[in-house]
Amino acid sequence: MTDPEPTPRAPLPAPRRPAVLVGLIGAGIGASRTPAMHEAEAARLGLPLSYRLIDSDALPRGPADLATILRAAELCGFAGLNVTYPFKVEVLAHLDSLSEGARRVGAVNTVVLKAGRREGHNTDHSGFAAAFAAEMPDAPRDRVLLIGAGGAGGAVAQALVEAGVRELLIFDTAPGRAAALADRIVAQTPGARAAAAASVEGAAARGLDGVVNATPVGMAGLPGTPFPARLLDPRLWVADIVYLPLETRLLAEARAAGCRTMSGAGMAVFQAVDAFRLFTGACASPAQMRATFDAMGP
């Protein structure tokens, strides 16, 4: 008598890869397109990833300090965090190390949480640089006005001088901040020329090739324009890092004046591409992330 054939058993499912948990810290970030870009690209690559918003304006027990938010993220197992307004400079005091790019910029928008350490990076810098190279490769750059010397302004300033801007004028409503950024650019970039501008009007009177808005002015919650329409000239190119809305008042008026324009979409996409690599080790597709960004509306 032979033993009965064993009943075949279905193969065990392959163990699931642990989900990568990442997020964005900022104020008033409910409309951010960053979560969708990261999650759609992760799904396309077969990576389990969840992207959460940590809005300091919408926490159930009221605003929490940045140190508390970072510690809570670590305890919850976050692999990394993007950081946006108003925390890009404040976060520096809470990090263990900085990438060379973040050190040069003096601000951080991406934090990698790994083995109990917090590593700061700046993909705003690389993101604006990539967008500018793609959309403004032949734009004149003898003299450019940068409006805004905060965390994003520092990233854009460094990218502009590295892109060959010969003289960078920086205006900020806090004159000391503009002067400090100009001094840092000159000190750490051989051959760079940068100076604080006393006013937007004064800078325009000197003759400009381009204008970049690196302030929140123009966002849905902060309408307006940092550069008066009467100063626009068709020979100017105008860039805005704001992407909500994509067509800011500054860009609409610049386009009406015949200026070449660049929206904040490119920077938003390319910074996400670089942050995705830091969080997951995988290379994201800029084209696919841009498609996700565009699918969310104008």
Nearest to 169 by CA among 142, 191, 188, 138: 142
pLDDT score at 47 = 97
pLDDT digits (tens, 9 = 90+) for 53-85: 999 888 876 666 899 999 999 999 999 999 998
Q: How far apart are CA 296 and CA 298, in angstroms?
A: 7
Output the six-digit token pair for 261: 């324009």
pLDDT score at 18 = 65
Output the six-digit token pair for 90: 């404040």
pLDDT score at 69 = 94
**Vertex 145 angle, CA 142 and 149, to 5°:** 130
pLDDT score at 5 = 61
Give the distance from CA 40 to its chain's centroid: 18
pTM of the model: 0.90
Q: 226 — phi, psi (to 5°)?
A: -85, -5
Could you give the residue range(s) of every CATH 3.40.50.720 domain in the chain? 125-263
- Strand intervals (E) in the chain: 20-26, 49-55, 80-83, 97-98, 110-114, 117-121, 143-147, 167-171, 194-196, 210-213, 237-240, 260-262
DSSP 273: H
In CATH, the architecture of 125-263 is 3-Layer(aba) Sandwich (3.40)
Output the six-digit token pair for 166: 């010969």
Could you give the residue range(s) of every CATH 3.40.50.10860 domain in the chain? 20-121+267-295
Q: Which residues are catalytic?
A: 88
265 phi-psi bin (left φ>0, alpha ψ -120 to 50, beta other) = alpha
pLDDT score at 57 = 87
pLDDT in tens, the chain (298 residues): 455 565 565 664 544 556 899 999 999 899 999 999 999 999 999 999 999 999 988 887 666 689 999 999 999 999 999 999 899 999 999 999 999 999 999 999 999 999 999 999 999 999 999 999 999 999 999 999 999 999 999 999 999 999 999 999 999 999 999 999 999 999 999 999 999 999 999 999 999 999 999 999 999 889 999 999 999 999 999 999 999 999 999 999 999 999 999 999 999 999 999 999 999 999 999 999 999 999 998 7
Q: 132 — phi, psi (to 5°)?
A: -65, -40
Q: Please report where in the chains the tokens 């015949």 appear, as a residue.
A: 258
Q: Please report where in the chains the tokens 């008033």 appear, as a residue.
A: 28
The amino acid at residue 79 is A
One of 3.40.440.10, 3.40.50.10860, 3.30.390.50, 3.40.50.1860 is the CATH number of 20-121+267-295, namely: 3.40.50.10860
